[in-house]
Amino acid sequence: MSASSPWPDHDTLMSAIALANRAPSVHNTQPWRWLVGTRSLHLMADRTRWLPATDPHGRDLVMSCGAALHHLRVALAARGWSTVDLSVDAEGDDHLAALGLRPCPPEGAELAAAIPLRRTDRRRYSARPVPDRAVAELARAAARLGVAAIPLVGEEERLEVAVSLLAGAARQRVDPRVRRELVHWTGRTHGLPEGVPAANSPSGAVRHGGLPMRYFPRGVLTEPPGGPVGPDVGLLLVLATAGDTRAAWLRAGEAASAVLLAATTLGMATCVLSQNVEVDGVRARLRDRLLAGRGEPQLVIRVGYAPESAGPLPATARRPVGEVCHRLPGTGSRPRRA
């Protein structure tokens, strides 16, 4: 894009990046950096925040970055700027996306407003079923990004997800490197700008709707008061892509963001389940038994309605914009929030 092309002012760009940083990421590692050029914006993977034991191929890392990328697109669109994808380097580089920006009529205000409201809710959900029209809307949100969001509605499919989650957890539990990463990044106290706080992590080993949740050794989050009123009937969606390249992972992360934000606008709670796709053999079983040629499983998302007695979850912390956003080398000084 030429030097004379329109470009958002500093405050607009920084506020959009601040919203992008609200994206979910594996263990809230926030493994991304933003580089601002004269007329371009670049998303870089931050390998210093990679979890090589939990995420040996870097899929979680790239999908986390994809979620941040989609959050950025939503935030900019609400401020009157559309993104234009520019070419990036080869698959092995940490340069994940390059964007040009063009002015457009503001759109998607409701989706942008959902960004600070979205939470990862690992508690049980209610007996209120997710309506078919909502399932279709979530599937469309992913499909617009070229990703299939496949609802798992049968008991056998749900059982297969439960078995795969148990298998993935068992493999990770005996790996001391995975345990070290879990202890390092979770059970955090308030005031730290990263990691999963203890207040957002379940206390002890829990199951919801027959599904085992990830175990957090220092979690203190308890269930809503009053006990369960009916079964947890949360919906399961598998996000699947046609390929299994870095580009596919990035797109899956964008689709996950789209589904999570759409669910938030519909008043639903969400939680990403990934232990069954973090272990190669378990992921292959999930692909063969559930998808049957419909794609590569990237994530499972649990969607439902929180019980009426459930209180709000605290927001998890994020790093300041000035820590994750810098000027592209050769284009001037580091951006700072006014």
Q: What is the pLDDT of residues 161-194, one digit of tens each?
A: 999 999 999 999 999 999 999 999 999 876 789 9
Quote the Cα angle for 100-103-108, to 5°.
Answer: 100
Taking residues 97-113, report their average pLDDT. Answer: 98
Beta bridge partners of 196: 186
Task: Enter the DSSP assignment of 28.
Answer: G
Task: Please check whether residue 219 is in contact with residue 182, taking contact to mean a CB–CB distance below 8 angstroms.
Answer: no
Q: Look up the CATH number of the domain holding residue 278.
A: 3.40.109.10
CA distance 103 to 79: 9
Q: Does pLDDT of 279 surpass 80?
A: yes
Q: Are residues 160 and 187 in the same domain?
A: yes
Task: Please check whether residue 326 is in contact with residue 334, taking contact to mean a CB–CB distance below 8 angstroms.
Answer: yes
Q: Are residues 170 and 35 in the same domain?
A: no
Q: Does pLDDT of 33 surpass 80?
A: yes
Alpha-carbon torsion 8, 44, 283, 219, what sign? negative
Q: Are residues 152 and 207 in the same domain?
A: yes
User: What local confidence, expressed as pLDDT, does residue 228 receive?
Assistant: 66
Q: Are residues 142 and 274 in the same domain?
A: yes
Taking residues 20-37, report their average pLDDT. Answer: 98
Instruction: Give the count of domains, the chain.
Output: 2
Q: Does pLDDT of 251 surpass 70?
A: yes
Determine, yes or no, domain membership for 332.
no
CA distance 37 to 13: 12
The closest of 98, 210, 76 to 155, measured between CA atoms, is 210
Determine, yes or no, domain membership for 293.
yes
Longest dimension (CA), the chain: 61
Q: Which residue has the higher pLDDT, 251 or 224?
A: 251
Taking residues 130-150, report their average pLDDT. Answer: 98
Determine, yes or no, domain membership for 89.
yes
Q: Does pLDDT of 10 surpass 50?
A: yes
Q: Are residues 180 and 156 in the same domain?
A: yes
User: What local confidence, expressed as pLDDT, does residue 335 receive?
Assistant: 45
CA distance 178 to 171: 10
Q: Does pLDDT of 28 surpass 90?
A: yes
User: What local confidence, expressed as pLDDT, does residue 143 receive?
Assistant: 99
Task: Please check whether residue 259 is in contact with residue 153, taking contact to mean a CB–CB distance below 8 angstroms.
Answer: no
Determine, yes or no, domain membership for 5.
no
Domain of residue 321 covers 10-115+317-327
How does residue 317 score in pLDDT terms, banded at 50, 70 and 90? very high
Q: Are residues 107 and 154 in the same domain?
A: no
User: What local confidence, expressed as pLDDT, does residue 231 receive?
Assistant: 87
CA distance 190 to 248: 34
Task: Please check whether residue 287 is in contact with residue 314, taking contact to mean a CB–CB distance below 8 angstroms.
Answer: no
Q: Could you tell me where the DSSP H helices lie in the chain?
A: 10-20, 59-78, 109-114, 132-143, 155-173, 176-185, 246-265, 280-286, 321-324
Reported pTM: 0.94
User: What local confidence, expressed as pLDDT, does residue 156 receive?
Assistant: 94
How does residue 4 score in pLDDT terms, banded at 50, 70 and 90? low
Q: Does pLDDT of 198 surpass 60?
A: yes
- Residue 95: count of CB within 10 angstroms of its CB: 13
Q: Are residues 288 and 213 in the same domain?
A: yes
Q: Are residues 93 and 143 in the same domain?
A: no
Average pLDDT, the chain: 93
Q: Under 8 Å CB-to-CB from 124, ≥6 apart: which residues?
A: 206, 208, 209, 223, 224, 228, 232, 307
Q: Are residues 93 and 207 in the same domain?
A: no
CA distance 133 to 14: 36
CA distance 112 to 115: 5
Q: Does pLDDT of 147 surpass 70?
A: yes
